[in-house]
Amino acid sequence: MTALHQVLQTPELLTLVFESAASDERQSKALLSEAACVNSTWFKFATSVLWGQVRDESLNVRALATITRARRQRYASKIKHLDFTWNRDATIHSLFRRLKFPMLKRLVLDNQGGMHNQRPCPVAQYLQPSVEILEVHNLDKQFDQGFVDLMSNCPHLRSFWLTSVGTTLSAKELSGIFAAVQNVRSLILKFTNSNLTGDLILQLSRFEKLERLSVSDRLVKPALFEFVKTHSPYPFRAVESLELTAEPATIVSATELFPNLKVFALFLCSSTNTSFLYRLGAVPRLEVLFISTATQA
């Protein structure tokens, strides 16, 4: 075996070469597909890079659906990112039933297209222990206890998004979800109606590792944050970045709860009263302040 041949079989070098090829947006797919045909070693590393690319996560879903059932697991094992936000046909999940995704890092679920046969889609199968980022949109009916239990079994989860849940989820159900993700570093919540209660915000205030919090709820009241003040002497100790969409009065109540805040993004539901801004002087470590008017969406 020549020295060149030995080098071209080295896992570290092959990975670097194929990752370099993947950086070419126009040619990456063709180059990696051709490389995968050279031999079994090149196939292993070229397909790992090809299916693990982040550039367009929805392509992984579409491509996997076109592969024959007998061969899907081979490629599912290499996928690091799955994004279902483009999908409007819930039946696609049936194509992936019983597949394992052991390398999955980022999962985006969206049920905007509706339910398959009026039943929840089997999306729990994607909740692998390897998942680090989980985004859930329009999936309020998916949060049965089994789904929440699987979320609790994702030890590497560091970022969780929950948006557009309407009023279907009760405070008790939301509390169970928050308990399952209590070790995340980033939490993004966007509610179309007021799902939050004082007890829920109090629960969030005790997340010891939470560094970034985003809350968008036009109906959230100042009293909810006042409730936290009276029940938690050291709320939100680790939070350094806060995004808040609310009325000015609510923002005033929330300001004093974040003693270590460095980045504050405010999206005002009402721009007529800006007298509350002087209260931001109570945030001693504030470095970046962004203020905008919230859209009606």
pTM for this model (two decimals)? 0.79
46 in helix, strand or coil? helix
Of 110-119, 168-177, 181-190, 240-249, the range with the lowest mean pLDDT is: 110-119
| pLDDT reported for residue 117 | 45
> How does strand 241-246 pair with strand 263-268?
parallel
Mean pLDDT of 246-272: 85
Task: Name the pLDDT band for 162 (thresholds 50, 70, 90).
Answer: very high
**Statement: residue 86 has pLDDT above 80:** no
Query: What percent of the chain has a predicted confidence (pLDDT) above 90?
Result: 28
pLDDT (0 to 100) of residue 116: 45
pLDDT tens digits, residue range 92-119? 788 888 889 998 999 998 865 444 444 5
Segment of 49-58, 189-198, 205-214 carrying the highest mean pLDDT: 205-214
Task: For tokens 């045909």, name the residue.
Answer: 37
pLDDT tens for each residue of 126-155: 888 999 999 988 766 667 778 888 888 899
**Residue range 153-167: mean pLDDT, rounded:** 86
Q: What is the pLDDT of residue 137?
A: 85
pLDDT tens-place string over residues 195-251: 789 999 999 999 999 999 999 887 788 899 999 999 998 999 999 999 998 888 888
- Angle, CA of 44, 48 and 51, to the nearest 5°: 135
The CA distances from residue 54 to 19, 33, 42, 80, in Å, are 12, 17, 20, 8
pLDDT value for 12: 61
Residue partners of 253: CB distance under 8 A and separation at least 6: 222, 223, 224, 225, 226, 229
Of all residues in the chain, the percent with pLDDT exceeding 70 is 69
* CA separation for the pair 264, 129 (Å, rounded): 32
